């Protein structure tokens, strides 16, 4: 497995930069024409990362593996370059594709199109209830937990979620899939496709729903209304006073068509450490929340 820093290091070398200085969370690179300070924040940007940006004398790049929140972007200098998740996917993906294509060409047709293989097992799961397959293993989870909170206690839970497909039929037609956490009531709009499996091999705790199925549709409808309701504010001057008119536009319950698709269990790692607790969604490979 190649960790994130090694992949970033490979990309910098690929772009012609040489690492001339490195410390935890900060790397100085030199192309011969300019020096850059790379501030590596990881999934969450903390105050010490912002402090490193302020102290850097070189032109700076802030690296974070998640989308940078707007409020954080506004708090840093406009001259700071931001490489967040979307930028990294493009940059690292382009490098991996180009390098692997060149290596594949050297190996011949099989290096590009792949070898012929036969499989003797089923990969489809046709029941309405199952577990979302993890995309990260315990080794990767433990690395994240150690880096984020100094993790020492790891607990794998499978959390029940009601799944609905929805379609909003008003002026702007929208459709998608929504996951209602049957324990907390939290709504999630995860876009990536998931593979369903029937069981997890690793020891885990299966949580039971707190929210009954008969209440799930009403809660989902309310959440969809909130998500797609646009709040508007109109201001104008009149007789020396500022008039503010607030309104909101969104779908009614009749505009939203819901189809219940069943219940799935989402594997979540709760990692407890010296610096707090972090919850990692193993099916998405992403951090859900930190405490």
Percent of the chain with pLDDT over 70: 90
Q: Kindly state the DSSP code that residue 254 receives in the 8-state scheme.
A: G
Q: Are residues 23 and 162 in the same domain?
A: no
Rounded to whole angstroms, how far apart are CA atoms 178 and 117?
36
Q: Are residues 185 and 83 in the same domain?
A: no
Give the predicted TM-score (pTM) of the model. 0.53
Q: Are residues 153 and 76 in the same domain?
A: no
pLDDT higher than threshold 60 for residue 109: no
Q: Are residues 10 and 151 in the same domain?
A: no
Rounded to whole angstroms, how far apart are CA atoms 215 and 223?
13
Q: Are residues 92 and 135 in the same domain?
A: no
Rounded to whole angstroms, how far apart are CA atoms 26 and 29?
10
Domain-embedded: residue 239: no
Q: Are residues 163 and 221 in the same domain?
A: yes
Domain-embedded: residue 207: yes
Domain-embedded: residue 234: no
pLDDT higher than threshold 70 for residue 106: no
Rounded to whole angstroms, how far apart are CA atoms 277 and 5?
23
pLDDT higher than threshold 60 for residue 121: no
Q: Are residues 140 and 197 in the same domain?
A: yes
Domain count, the chain: 2
Q: Are residues 271 and 137 in the same domain?
A: yes
Q: Are residues 154 and 285 in the same domain?
A: yes
Q: What is the pLDDT of residues 36-91, one digit of tens each?
A: 899 988 778 888 888 888 888 888 999 988 888 888 888 888 888 999 888 888 88
Q: What is the pLDDT of residues 1-28, one digit of tens each?
A: 357 788 888 888 888 889 888 888 888 9
Contacts of 202 (CB under 8 A, 6+ apart): 138, 156
Domain boundary among 75, 96, 117: 96
Q: Provide the pLDDT for residue 160.
A: 94
Q: Give the CATH number for residue 88.
A: 3.40.1350.70
Domain-embedded: residue 193: yes
Query: Both tokens of residue 51?
Result: 């402090």
Phi–psi pair at 131, nearest 5 degrees: -115, 135
Mean pLDDT check: name the lowest of 128-142, 150-164, 214-228, 251-265: 128-142
Rounded to whole angstroms, how far apart are CA atoms 3 and 50?
23
Q: How far is CA 121 from CA 136, 187, 192, 197, 260, in A?
A: 22, 34, 24, 13, 29
Domain boundary among 96, 119, 147: 96
**What mean pLDDT is reported for the chain?**
82
Q: Which domain holds residue 220?
A: 129-227+252-290
Domain-embedded: residue 28: yes
Element (H, E) at 265: strand 256-273
pLDDT higher than threshold 60 for residue 248: yes
Domain boundary among 81, 96, 111: 96
């Amino acid at each position: 497995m190649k960790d994130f820093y090694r992949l970033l290091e490979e990309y910098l070398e690929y772009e012609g930069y040489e690492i001339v200085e490195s410390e935890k969370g900060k790397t100085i690179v030199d192309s011969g024409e300019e020096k850059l300070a790379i501030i590596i924040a990881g999934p969450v940007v903390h105050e010490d990362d912002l402090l490193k940006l302020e102290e850097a004398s070189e032109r700076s790049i802030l690296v974070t593996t998640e989308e940078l929140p707007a409020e954080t972007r506004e708090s840093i200098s406009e001259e700071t370059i931001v490489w967040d998740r979307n930028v990294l996917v493009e940059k690292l993906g382009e490098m991996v594709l180009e390098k692997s294509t060149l290596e594949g060409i050297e190996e011949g047709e099989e290096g590009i199109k792949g070898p012929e293989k036969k499989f003797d097992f089923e990969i489809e799961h046709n029941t309405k209830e199952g577990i979302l397959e993890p995309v990260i293993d315990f080794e990767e989870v433990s690395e994240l937990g150690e880096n984020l909170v100094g993790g020492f206690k790891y607990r794998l839970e499978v959390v029940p979620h009601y799944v609905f497909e929805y379609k909003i039929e008003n002026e702007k037609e929208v459709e998608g899939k929504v996951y209602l956490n049957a324990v907390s009531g939290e709504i999630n709009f995860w876009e990536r496709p998931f593979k369903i499996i029937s069981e997890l091999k690793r020891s885990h705790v299966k949580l039971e729903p707190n929210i009954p199925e008969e209440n799930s549709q009403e809660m989902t409808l309310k959440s969809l209304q909130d998500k797609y309701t646009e709040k508007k504010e109109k201001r104008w001057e009149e007789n020396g006073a500022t008039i503010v008119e607030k309104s909101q536009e969104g779908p009614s319950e009749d505009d939203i068509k819901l189809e219940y698709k069943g219940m799935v269990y989402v594997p979540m790692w709760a990692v407890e450490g010296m610096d707090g607790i972090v919850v990692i969604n193993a099916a998405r490979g992403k951090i859900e929340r930190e405490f």
